[in-house]
Structure 1
Amino acid sequence: MTAARSSWDDFKREVFGDRTEIIEGVEVKVPTDVPFGVAARMGDLSESSAQEDFEELVCALFGPEVFEQWMEAGMGQIGLMTVLTWGMAQAAGNDISFQEAYTAIVSGDPGKAMSPEAPAPNRAARRSRSGSTGGQSRRTSPASTGSKRTRSRA
């Protein structure tokens, strides 16, 4: 038994769908897969206000020229973060609403909107949670080693 042959575009449309959404008057294809590198860049946005960083992600998720069209339509930073969070969740297979994406943005935890297998936080965020100061650690107290010996047996 041989499988029917189809083009990549036909296969992709059948498997991933061909859903579109109108956002700020611009019809965009709903993301169905996370482009390489986008998940890591999304985590860095909280520390950036550079227009180029946002533009790069919008282009990767929704296509070229969409960012400029949204800016011309008057989309602001919270709106853009809401749409990016929604788009990333859609791309990860989590069909959330714009309201859910917005709630995640204003709550300060856009990662909640992602799928259960959300990407790990960026390096700076992981390190900020660590108790490490970068200095030498203190010597372990002999009373806390669990050993009655006062010297090693060497």
Structure 2
Amino acid sequence: MTARKHESWDDFWTRVTGGGTETIRGVEIQIPTDVPLAMEQRLKALEDSESEDDIREMVGLLFGADVLDRWAENGMGLLEFKTVLAWGMAHAGGAKVTFQEAFDIVLAEEAAEGKAPNRAARRAVSKRPSGGTGGPSKRTSSASTSSARRTSRA
């Protein structure tokens, strides 16, 4: 019988989940490989909360303590944050999405809500052509749309 090589839990879990690290806005984070139990419980309790402390707590559970503050200090914007959050939650749920795929998910959600997050994102979303020709609308002259002035008959 051959002796089995001992493998630590951390080494085993990293091997089966494909965990690792990623640097985002200058901050090295562990790539989420599972949704922490504490996060699952807190999400239900904070379902409608928009408190910055609650958001910081959730991000801390997923990516590590103080990560949100460090990202903010390094200039992370809202669209960027939403993209990283979508990417992290997808990885935590077992889907290994790219940053581009996470960005596309965020843009689709923003479009579904009827708002483009910023100029760059609006440009990234495909635009429908105008009318049946696919070209821009043409200005209608005021002569064809105005009515003739009438004088009163007193």
- Note whether the superposition's TM-score is higher than 0.5: yes
Q: State the TM bucket, normalised to the shorter chain.
A: 0.5 to 0.7
Deviation at 1:85, TM superposition (A): 1.0
Asked if the contact 1:82/1:101 (under 8 Å) is kept, the reply is yes
Rg (Cα) greater in structure = 2
1:13 Cα deviation after fit: 2.5
After superposition, the CA RMSD in angstroms is: 2.7
SS in 1 for 2:28: strand
Counterpart of 1:86 in structure 2 is 87
Alignment of 1:60-79 (within 5 A): 60-79=61-80
Deviates more, 1:96-105 or 1:59-68: 96-105
Task: Tell me the distance in 2 between the aligned counterparts of 1:2 and 1:43.
Answer: 46
Question: Structure 2: how far apart are the matches of 1:98 and 1:43?
Answer: 27
Q: Which amino acid aligns with 2:101?
A: E
1:10-54 Cα distance to aligned partner (Å, 9 max, x none): 222222234211111111111111112535766898854321122
Could you tell me how far 1:56 is from its partner in structure 2?
A: 1.3
Alignment check: 8 A CA contact 1:45 1:54 kept: no
2:34 aligns with: 33
Contact 1:28 1:62 survives alignment (8 Å)? yes
Residue correspondence of structure 1 range 5-154 to structure 2 within 5 A: 5-39=6-40, 47-108=48-109
* TM-score normalised by structure 2 residue count: 0.58
Gaps of 5+ in 1: 110-154
Paired residue total: 109
Identity across matched positions, percent: 42
TM-score of the aligned structures, taking structure 1 as reference length: 0.58
Partner amino acid, structure 2, of 1:98: F
Whole-angstrom distance in 2 between the partners of 1:55 and 1:20: 20
Which secondary structure state, in structure 2, belongs to the residue aligned with residue 27 of structure 1?
strand
Alpha-carbon distance in 2 for matches of 1:101, 1:80: 11
Report if the CA contact (8 A) 1:59-1:67 is conserved.
yes
Identify unmatched segments of 5+ residues in structure 2: 111-154
Report SS of the residue matched to 2:82: helix
Q: Which moved more, 1:83-92 or 1:72-81?
A: 72-81
